Chains A and B, each alone.
Chain A
Amino acid sequence: MGLEDLQHNFLTGRLEDLVKWARRNSVWPATFGLACCAIEMMAVGAADFDISRLGMEVFRASPRQADLMIVAGRVSQKMAPVLRQVYDQMMEPKWVISMGVCASTGGMFNNYAIVQGVDQVVPVDVYAPGCPPSPETLLHAILTLHEKIRTGAITRRRARPVDDSEGERLAGWVAEAPDAVRVATPR
């Protein structure tokens, strides 16, 4: 057994890799099912497309115990501040998957009622296409998120919501430059 076989085991792993490995394999989604995509999200949670293989066993109801918010469905104007509130109440580190075209860009409902893309409200990590995305697409989005966690920086603050103590409230979050992470096809 040559030295190169020792490359990826516990003894020689760097702390940051270990933390990222731990985070990646225990991402708990918050139940944020809005519309049709929520049904497909539940189907992904059920027996046939089981996401507990990826460590996402439990859909935590309260944002305090959730790491990932899957925005599954169309976000209406009335729901946007609620979405923002739940996102703020989630613990760091937190990620967002915008599931379905309605969440990503407003989809086929380009009208007064739907927020045209949930990235106007919360910073999004992975966009899953489809209407609704088939469970395989959502699984691929989750694996892409794992890849992003694996290659992303560990201590980068997600979106520092600006305190209202600083006088007028900014547009909710300080837009950081979206990092054009060239995400390799997850192995």
Chain B
Amino acid sequence: MTDPAPRAAAEHAAAGSSPPEVPRAQGRWTSEIGFPPRDRYHELVESYKASGFEQLSDLTAVDYLTHPGRTLPAGVEPGRFEVVANLLSLSSSRRVRVRVQVPEDDAVVDTLWDLYPGAEAMEREVFDLFGIRFLGHPDLTRILMPEDWEGHPLRKDYGVGRVPVQFKEAPGPR
């Protein structure tokens, strides 16, 4: 492991919990949050795995198109997408969240499949519903939508696809 990676992890981990100005839940559900830049995302997760986070419990993404003004720690420029990986340490019963910003134009992130094989289906779902590609993923295809479906439904600019119904906004009865 190269030298800078542990420093990056230490730098974020050393901040104890995540930087204070990031609004988070209180009480029992607080957990450490790491904000690595995209190129050091894989290293940070690797350093977390080395420091005892055996299991990746969840990997998902958020599209911040219509909510750009979210508060982020200093030095982290907000991208349109945000891939959120949730790591779990079975030995010390702790969780940590890694939030990496993904710009809109080249929405590509390293895969975690080589660290955690369990990430395979979660990343396929994020690709399917958000269109974020994962470098090094063994089988990056759609998982939930039909194969010939265009568009990525969970993006904020993708309509809900409502069929107008009679009493809400549709013209009179057909």
Contacts and interface: CB of A to CB of B under 8 A. Distances in A.
Interface string B133-174: 000000000001110010001000011111101000000000
A62 interface: no
Interface residues of B, number: 12
A42 to B, nearest CB: 25
B163 A116 contact: yes
B145 A111 contact: no
Given A112-B159, A112-B161, 17 more contacts: A77-B146, A77-B149, A78-B144, A78-B145, A78-B146, A106-B163, A110-B160, A110-B162, A111-B161, A111-B162, A112-B153, A112-B158, A112-B160, A113-B145, A113-B153, A113-B161, A116-B163
Interface string A73-86: 00001100000000
Contacts, number: 23
Contacts of B163: 106, 110, 116
Interface in B93-148: 144-146
B165 A110 contact: yes
Dominant secondary structure at the B interface: loop
A77 B165 CA distance: 19
Interface in A20-41: none
A111 B160 contact: yes
Contacts of B146: 77-78
Contacts of A110: 160, 162-163, 165
A85 B158 CA distance: 30
Contacts of A106: 163
A127 to B, nearest CB: 16
Contacts of B160: 110-112
A119 to B, nearest CB: 13
B165 to A, nearest CB: 6
Contacts of A113: 145, 153, 161
Nearest to B160: A111
A116 B159 CA distance: 16
A78 B153 CA distance: 14
Interface string B13-40: 0000000000000000000000000000
20 contacts: A77-B146, A77-B149, A78-B144, A78-B146, A106-B163, A110-B160, A110-B162, A110-B163, A110-B165, A111-B160, A111-B161, A111-B162, A112-B153, A112-B158, A112-B159, A112-B160, A112-B161, A113-B153, A113-B161, A116-B163
A175 to B, nearest CB: 15
Contacts of A77: 145-146, 149
Contacts of A116: 163
Contacts of B162: 110-111
